[in-house]
Amino acid sequence: MSIQESLKIIDKGEIALLEWDLIGEKVNKLSSPVMTRLKELVSELKTSKYKAVVLISRKPKIFIAGADIEEIKNLKTQEEFEPVLKEAHSIFNLLEDLPMPTIAAIHGACLGGGCELVLACDYRIASDDKSTQIGLPEVKLGIIPGFGGCVRLPRVVGLQAALDIILAGKSVPSDKARKIGLVDEVVSAKELEERALAMAKECVLGQRKKRQKKYSAKGAMNQVMESALGRALVFNQARKLTLKESKGFYPAPLKALEVIQKTYGYSNREKALNTEMNGFCKVATTDISKYLIDLFYMLEDVKKQTGVDKPEVKPLPVKSMGVLGAGTMGGGIAYVAADKGIEARMKDISNEALSIGFKAARSIWEKKMQRRRLTQFDFEQKMNHISGTLDYSGFKHMDVVVEAIVEDMEIKKKVIGETAKNCKENCIMATNTSSLSVTEMANGHPKPENFLGMHFFNPVDKMPLVEVIRGEKTSDVATATIFDLAKKMGKTPVVVKDGPGFLVNRLLVPWMSEAIFLLQDGMSIEKLDRIYSHKFGMPMGPCRLLDEVGLDVAIKVVKIFYKSLGSRMEIPKLMEKLEGNTRLGKKNGKGFYLYDSKGKQLSVDKSIYQELGLEPNDKVDEKEVIERGIFRMINEAAMAMLEEKICENPQQCDLAMIMGTGFPPFRGGLLKYADTFGSEYIVQELEIYKSRYGERFTPAASLVNMAKTNKTFYTRPIKVQNAESTSLGIQPTL
C-alpha cells in the first residue's frame, strides 16, 4: 500500500482537499502508518497557502471506519497504550488548531476514531445516504473513546446527547446528527463534495470562520443541564441506567461516564485528554476488552465465510422465499426476509393462520414507525414484500422454502414431499426444527441434497443466530445458499452437523434441566435466577428462561434428549410433577413466575412451592450452583465438538452460545470461560458432583484426555484464574 497515494492533498486553489482512499483496503482506518501520514499532511497545511481545508473519502459507503482494532488488540499494558494515545491526541490537536477552517464531508460510516477526527474539525457536512452513520461504538469493544471523543463530543452536541451516544456505543444517521448539532448540514451524496467546497469558499470569503472550541449549551434544556444541579442530575440518572443495562459487568460505559464527568467543562485541553487517556488504559488492558474484541473478529470472520470450505462453491441467488406455516415463528421469518427486500410468501391451511403471520410482521414494523425509525412509505414498501396463500400458488418461483410447521416428524416429512412437487427443481428447502433429525426429515424430500436445517431462535426479529444444519446428504451448494441467505437477513449463521438439539439446544438443555435439580435440592426460584443473571451475567435465569420457552415444551425436549443421549440427560423427578400441570409459562401467564395479559413478568408464584412439595432453604452455595449448570454445558460441548464434530472449533461454539443464548460476552464465550479454569479443575469438579449427584456429571472422555496435561480448548495459553472468584462472576472494580 502506498500511504502517500492513499492520503493526499488535492490543490483546489485557495482550498485544500484532503483525500482519503487507502489503497488495497476496503475501508479507511486510522492505523499507525495512516496517522503518521496524517501528521505530515496536517503539519504541511499549517504553513501552507490554503485558507480552508475539506476532508473527504473516496471509499463507497465509508468515510473512516475507526482505529485499527488489530493494533488495539495487540497492545497489552498502559505503558504500551499511552504513547499511541498521546500521538493521536497531538495529531488531532494539530488539526483542530490549524489556522484555517476545516470541513469534514462525511459519506458512509464515520465511527470511532473517524468520528473523533471530524469532531476536531470546524464544520461537518453529511450525506443523506443510509450508509452514513456517525458515532462512537467503543464501549462495545470494552474500551472508551480514546482519541478525544469523551472530551470533544459533549462540547459539540451537549452533555445529554453525548452521553446517549458514548455510553451505549451508538451511531446516528445523518438527520439525527444534524438535529443534535453533530453535523451542520445534510445533503445528497451527489451534492456532498460540491457543497463542502462551497462551504470552504464561504470560509475563504470570510463568511465562515474558525469556530471557538468552547463548551456550549444548545437549547433551553441543555442550558438547564449546564448548571451544577442539572449536571449532577444527568450524571446520576446516566449512572443508574448504565448499571441497570450492564448489571455492572462491563466497566467501559461506567469508565466513560466517569471521564466525561471529570472533564466536562475543563478549559485545559491537555488535562482533559490525559484524563481520557488514563480512563482508556484502565479498561483497554482488561480481559473483558480482549474478549469483546475477539467476539468482534469472530463476527467479522462470518462475513467472509461461505459456510463451506470449498472456495469454488458459490451460493445460489435468493430473491424470493416461501414459508410453510404462518404462526408467530413463520411470521417472524417472513418479516426478517421482507425487511431485507426478499419476497416472502407464507402458506398455511387457513386465513386465520395467515393473519397471525401478517400481524407478527406488521407489529414489528409499526413499532419501528412509532420510534421514527421507519417512514410510512418504507412501511408500505416492506409490507408489499409479504404475501400469503392457502395453496402452493407462486411456489414454482421460490428460490428457497423454509418449513416452520408443527414439531411432528411424520407430518413434516409429508408436507416437505408435497411442497417439493410444487417447487422448481433446484429450490433449496430448509426446516426450522429445533430438535428433530434433519437427516431423517430429508427422507421426505425427493432430493435430500437440497434439504437442510435453518434454525431460527425466538423471537426471530431479535435473536441474531441461525444454525445452518447439514444432514448426511446435504450438498455444499445448499449449505452455502442458506448460509448466505442468513447473512442477507441480517443474521449470524453457524454451520453445525445434525445431531440431538444440534449445538445451542444441545448445550443449553443440560443447564436448564440442572436448574430443576437445584430446585429439588432446595434452591428458591428467586435466588437461583438471581445467581445466574446478576452474579454470572446470563440475560435471564434458567427458571425465567423455562417460562419463556414453555414448561410443556421444555419437558418434551428433555425427554427427547434423554431418549437420544441417555443418563447424562437424566430427567429430574420434579419435571414429572410439572408435566400435565396447568403451568405452561409465559404463554398462559403462569409458570415459575406470574405474567400480566401483555406477557410482562410479575413476581414468582409462591404457590408453586406447595404444589411441587418444595421447601426452599438456599443452602447450595453460589459456586456449586454455577458450576453444576455451566460445567455440564462445558462437558456437553466437549462431547459435541471434539467427539461428535457437531461444530468444527471452539470459536464456532462460543459464537453460537453468545449469539444464540446470550452467554455473557464479557466472559468470552463458554469455552473461553472453561479455559480460565483449565480442564484439570473442571474434570475434578465433575467427578465430585458425579459422586454426589449421579451419572449426568460423568466427564467426557475428550475432557478427561485434555485434563491429563491441563490442555485448553483454545490453543493460545490462557491464564488459569482463581476458580472460586471466576465462577462467582465477581464484578469489576470501577
Residue 535 lies in a domain: yes
Q: Is 393 left (phi over 0), alpha (psi -120 to 50) or beta?
A: beta
Q: Are 435 and 500 in contact (CB under 8 A)?
A: yes
Cβ neighbours of residue 74 closer than 8 Å, sequence gap 6 or more: none
The CA dihedral of 199, 204, 207, 210, to the nearest 10 degrees, is 90
Residue 82 lies in a domain: yes
10-residue mean pLDDT profile of the chain (734 residues): values are 87 96 93 96 96 96 94 92 97 97 98 97 97 97 97 95 96 96 97 97 92 50 59 90 91 97 90 97 95 95 95 96 93 95 96 92 92 88 95 96 94 96 96 94 97 95 96 98 98 96 95 97 97 95 95 90 91 88 90 92 93 93 97 97 95 97 96 96 98 97 96 70 37 28
- Rg value, the chain, Cα: 28
Domain end position, chosen among 480, 498, 516: 498
Q: Give the per-residue SS3 of 428-487.
A: EEEECCCCCCHHHHHHHCCCHHHEEEEEECCCCCCCCEEEEEECCCCCHHHHHHHHHHHH
Closest by alpha carbon to 504, among 463, 541, 532? Answer: 463
d(CA 491, CA 456) in angstroms, rounded, equals: 9
Give residue 522's pLDDT. Answer: 96
Residues 81 and 48 occupy one common structural domain: yes
Give residue 262's pLDDT. Answer: 94
Residue 122 lies in a domain: yes
Phi, psi of 493 (to 5 degrees): -85, 145
Residue 294 lies in a domain: no
Identify any residues that bridge with 15 across adjacent strands, giving them in sequence order: 12, 52
Could you tell me the three cell numbers for 237? Answer: 440518572
CATH number, domain of 224, equals 3.90.226.10
Task: Let me know if 83 is exposed, middle or buried by CB neighbors in 10 A (0-12, 13-18, 19+).
Answer: exposed
Identify any residues that bridge with 527 across adjacent strands, giving them in sequence order: none
Q: Are 150 and 166 in contact (CB under 8 A)?
A: yes
Residues 142 and 197 occupy one common structural domain: yes
Per the document, the length of the chain is 734
Residues 682 and 548 occupy one common structural domain: yes
Q: Are 656 and 494 in contact (CB under 8 A)?
A: yes
Residue 309 lies in a domain: no
d(CA 40, CA 125) in angstroms, rounded, equals: 24
523-550 as b/e: b if 16+ CB within 10 A: bbbbbbbebbbebbbbeebbbbbbbbbb
Q: Are 637 and 646 in contact (CB under 8 A)?
A: no
* Helices 269-284, 251-263: inter-axial angle, 10-degree rounding: 170
d(CA 231, CA 548) in angstroms, rounded, equals: 40
Residues 229 and 252 occupy one common structural domain: yes
Residues 618 and 481 occupy one common structural domain: no
Count up the domains in the chain and report the number.
3
d(CA 434, CA 462) in angstroms, rounded, equals: 17
Give residue 720's pLDDT. Answer: 44
483-497 as b/e: b if 16+ CB within 10 A: bbbbbebebbbbbbb
Q: Helix or strand or coil: residue 105?
A: strand
Closest by alpha carbon to 140, among 80, 69, 218, 225? Answer: 69
Amino acid identity of 259? Answer: V
- Domain containing residue 31: 3-285
Residue carrying C-alpha cell 473512516: 64
Identify any residues that bridge with 102 across adjacent strands, giving them in sequence order: 53
Give residue 94's pLDDT. Answer: 97
Read off the pTM.
Answer: 0.91
238-257 as b/e: b if 16+ CB within 10 A: bbeebeeebbebbbbbbbbb
Cβ neighbours of residue 594 closer than 8 Å, sequence gap 6 or more: 601, 602, 603, 604, 605
Catalytic residue from among 89, 107, 445, 455? 455
Q: Are 682 and 506 in contact (CB under 8 A)?
A: no
Residue 307 lies in a domain: no
Residues 340 and 265 occupy one common structural domain: no
CATH number, domain of 354, equals 3.40.50.720
Residues 21 and 123 occupy one common structural domain: yes
Residues 416 and 550 occupy one common structural domain: no
Preceding amide of 459 cis, omega within 30: yes
CATH number, domain of 566, equals 1.10.1040.50
* Helices 504-520, 622-638: inter-axial angle, 10-degree rounding: 150
Could you tell me the three cell numbers for 548? Answer: 419463556
Identify any residues that bridge with 548 across adjacent strands, giving them in sequence order: none
Residues 50 and 196 occupy one common structural domain: yes
Measured in whole angstroms, the distance separating CA 145 from the mean position of its chain's CA atoms is: 19
Instruction: Count CB-CB contacts under 10 A for residue 206.
Output: 8
Domain end position, chosen among 262, 285, 308: 285
Domain end position, chosen among 498, 525, 554: 498
Active-site residue 455, yes or no? yes
Phi, psi of 406 (to 5 degrees): -55, 145
Residue 444 lies in a domain: yes
Residues 408 and 474 occupy one common structural domain: yes
Count the alpha carbons within 13 Å of 662 in the hemisphere toward its beta carbon: 14
Closest by alpha carbon to 383, among 320, 329, 341, 327? Answer: 341
* Helices 251-263, 287-304: inter-axial angle, 10-degree rounding: 110
Residues 479 and 619 occupy one common structural domain: no
Instruction: Count CB-CB contacts under 10 A for residue 266.
Output: 15
Cβ neighbours of residue 414 closer than 8 Å, sequence gap 6 or more: 444
Give residue 686's pLDDT. Answer: 98
Sheet with 133-135: strands ordered across: 62-64, 109-111, 133-135, 171-173
Residue 157 lies in a domain: yes
Q: Helix or strand or coil: residue 710?
A: coil
Residues 558 and 647 occupy one common structural domain: yes
Give residue 716's pLDDT. Answer: 57
d(CA 337, CA 332) in angstroms, rounded, equals: 9
